[in-house]
Amino acid sequence: MPVKSAFFPRTSELCESMKWKEWAGYYAASSYLTLHDAEYFAFRNSAGLLDITPLFKYRVEGPDAASFLSRIMVKDISKLKVGKVTYCCWCTDQGKVVDDGTVMRRDENMFFVTSADPCYTWFSRFLRGYNVTLVDVSEKTAGVALQGPTSREIMKQVFDADLDNFRFFSTVKTRAGGFEAYISRTGYTGDLGYEIWVDNADALKLWDALMHEGKRYDIRPAGLDALDMTRVEAGLILKDVDYFNALHALIDDRMSSPYEISLGWTVNLDRDPFNGQAALRKESLEGSKWAIVGLDIDWAEIEAIYARYGLPPEIGSHAWRDSIPVYTDKSLRTQVGYATSGTWSPILKKNIAMATIRKEFDQMGSEVQIEITVEHVRHTATATVNKTQFFNPERKTSNPNATKS
């Protein structure tokens, strides 16, 4: 029986479609309208407001907070500056990913960590010897993501912060009418956007302020269906879809290293010991078995297959997350991997996917075959190996009105 986030009084009223999902034990709107297209375009054209309360949230405080987190994370958190956010993952001793999330350094000795799975226990296993307190604030803290081209303008209306100079992956504590919030310029849509964290008690004030000020900027509550499309366009992986928590994976083959899920860039190997260091060092020298790549699926071929049946291409408007085999040739014999999520991208007018394929097939521009079932018959379509990030607008990271450099 899922529980309700602090925004539920608003989201439940707005959710005309009655389409809900369970996300980490919370009710989460799949889409507010029957069709989620408008919500997708809100993210890409104006601003979408998404309830992200179901994420797990932890506060790590104390003189050893930075070294403690450095021991857990694959990234050297002690290098993270105050007011900055980083994205990374954390691993088992075997160098297999447990979860991924963001780490925000709110103060010299105070960090805020988000994760997809409950990680309190995992983190607390490493407390021995560190002068630090770990607090699970998941149930006390409400959060929203405001994402889209007009989000900065809405944020400016609501918050006191200097948003023109607020850089990508920064965080700051700020005030709005009557409440305090931590904001960060982060998100899961690959667009200009912010995430805002408040006490549960202030959740409705936050929601109302954003919706009220956002009206002029075409704000719209958005659900997970729209988010899923944008995150595939942005090449952002999702736990339990594109990889599995190594602590819960039943067999070793279901575990992945950071290198295998396109998070190799987050690993800082040469420093004090951290979880998985030895295994990751070995893998970085010996090479990985798998890689996550983007697939750009040939539209003309898809059209041609459908045409054989006298059909127009019937590509659903939802992002999908079933595992689909990927081959090197059309004979369906030499499987080299599997696509884990994909979507039709309305912006790019492309059919795109994320796939885990054997490392030796991950060169950009090379071609593979992806299975596609049309009228109950299996076919393949050619897909070009691409970076996972298909969509990356300049506005995501830029500060056009910055007064400081």
Partner 1 sequence: MSTKYDAIIIGGGHNGLICAAYLAKAGRNVLVLEKRHVLGGAAVSEELHPGFKFSVASYVVSLFRPHIIRELNLAKHGYQIIPMDCSFLPLPNGDSLARWADPQRSRREISRFSQKDAETYPEFSRVMTHMGKLAKEVIDHPAPDITSLKIKELTSLLRLAKVFKGLGPDLLHLNTKLVTLSAVDFLDLWFESETLKAPMSVSGIIGTYQGVRSPGTAYVLLHHYMGQLDGAFRSWGFSKGGTGGVSLACAEAAKSFGAEIRTESAVQQVHIKNGKAVGVVLENGDELHAKQIISNLDPNRTYLKMIGEEHLDEDVLKEVKRFKLRGSSGKVNLALDRVPEFSCRPGDGDHIRGDIAIAPSIDYLEKAFDQAKYGEFSQRPYINAVIPSLTDPSVAPPGKHILSCFVQYAPYHIKEGAENWPKYREAFGDTVVDTMAEYIPGLKDMILYRQVLTPWDLEQQMGLTEGNIFQGELSLEQLLFQRPIAGYSKYKTSVRNLWMCGSGTHPGGGIMGASGELCAKTMLKSRSI
Partner 2 sequence: MNKRYDIIVIGGGHNGLTAAAFLAKKGKKVLVIEKRDQLGGTAAGEEFHRGYRTFGLFNDTSWVRRSVIDALKLEDHGLKTTKKRPETAILSKNGGGVLLSGDIDQCISEISKFSKADAEGYRDYRRFIDKISGLIVGIMNEVPPDFMNIGSGDIWQLLKKGWALKRLGKKTMMELLKVAPMSVADFLNERFETDFLKAGMAGPAVYSSFNGPWSSYTTLNLLLWECLAKENVVGGPHALITALEKAVMDKGVDIQTGIAVDHIILNEDRVVTGVQLTDGSEINANVVASSCTPSETFFNLFKPNEIEYSLEQGIRHYRSRGTTAKINLAMSKPLEFNLNTQKPMEFARTGNTFDEMEKAFDPAKYRKFSDEPLLDIAIPTVSNPDLAPEGHSVVSILIHFAPHHFDGGWTMEQKEKLKMNVFKTLRQYTKDFEEHIVGEEVLSPVDIEERYTLTNGHLLHGEHAVDQLITRPIPSCSQYRTPIRGLYLCGSGSHPGGGITCAPGALSAKTILREM
Binding of partner 1 by 346 (CB under 8 A): no
Q: Minimum Å distance from CB 308 to partner 1?
A: 39
Which residue intervals of 144-288 are DSSP H helices?
A: 151-158, 203-214, 224-234, 277-286
> What is the dihedral angle through the alpha carbons of 12, 14, 17, 20, rounded to the nearest 10 degrees?
-30
Q: Minimum Å distance from CB 198 to partner 1?
A: 22
Q: Which lies closer to partner 2 via its Cβ, residue 126 or residue 168?
A: 126
Q: Minimum Å distance from CB 120 to partner 1?
A: 6
Binding of partner 1 by 2 (CB under 8 A): yes
CA distance 28 to 197: 17
> What is the dihedral angle through the alpha carbons of 163, 165, 169, 171, rounded to the nearest 10 degrees?
-60
> What is the dihedral angle through the alpha carbons of 347, 31, 11, 112, rounded to the nearest 10 degrees?
-60
Binding of partner 1 by 1 (CB under 8 A): yes
Binding partner of 128, given partner 2, partner 1, none, CB within 5-8 angstroms per partner class: partner 2
Binding partner of 120, given partner 1, partner 2, none, CB within 5-8 angstroms per partner class: partner 1
Q: Exposed, middle or buried by CB within 10 Å (0-12, 13-18, 19+), for 330?
A: exposed
Residues 210-269 contacting partner 1, CB under 8 A: 247-250
Q: Which lies closer to partner 2 via its Cβ, residue 107 or residue 272?
A: 272
What mask of x and - would describe binding to partner 1 in positions 109 to 148, judged by CB under 8 A? Answer: ---------xxxxx-x-----------x------------
Binding partner of 278, given partner 2, partner 1, none, CB within 5-8 angstroms per partner class: partner 2
Binding partner of 2, given partner 1, partner 2, none, CB within 5-8 angstroms per partner class: partner 1
> Which residues would be at the binding site for partner 2 (CB under 8 A)?
71, 92-94, 125-126, 128-130, 272-275, 278
Q: Which lies closer to partner 2 via its Cβ, residue 12 or residue 92?
A: 92
The answer to whether 345 and 294 have CB atoms below 8 angstroms apart is no
Q: Which lies closer to partner 1 via its Cβ, residue 21 or residue 395?
A: 21
Q: Which residues pair with 29 in a beta bridge?
A: 20
Kindly state the number of chain residues that form the binding site for partner 1, as judged by CB under 8 A.
17
Q: Which lies closer to partner 1 via its Cβ, residue 1 or residue 300?
A: 1
Q: Which lies closer to partner 2 via its Cβ, residue 82 or residue 278?
A: 278
The strand ranges marked E within 252-364 are 290-297, 324-327, 335-345, 350-358
What mask of x and - would describe binding to partner 1 in positions 13 to 42, judged by CB under 8 A? Answer: ---------x-xx-----------------
Q: Which 3 state secondary structure label does DSSP give 321?
A: coil
Angle at 246 (CA atoms; ends 244, 251), nearest 5 degrees: 85
Binding partner of 1, given partner 1, partner 2, none, CB within 5-8 angstroms per partner class: partner 1
The answer to whether 185 and 8 have CB atoms below 8 angstroms apart is no
Q: Which residues pair with 356 in a beta bridge?
A: 292, 338
CA distance 308 to 273: 58
Q: Which lies closer to partner 1 via its Cβ, residue 29 or residue 229?
A: 29
Question: Residue 301 belongs to what H/E stretch?
Answer: helix 299-308
> How is 36-68 classified by DSSP, letter by letter?
-HHHHHHHHHSEEEEE-TTSEEEEEESTTHHHH
Nearest to 383 by CA among 314, 308, 300, 316: 300
Q: Which lies closer to partner 2 via its Cβ, residue 273 or residue 316?
A: 273
Binding partner of 126, given partner 2, partner 1, none, CB within 5-8 angstroms per partner class: partner 2
Q: Residue numbers of the site for partner 1 (CB under 8 A)? A: 1-3, 22, 24-25, 118-122, 124, 136, 247-250
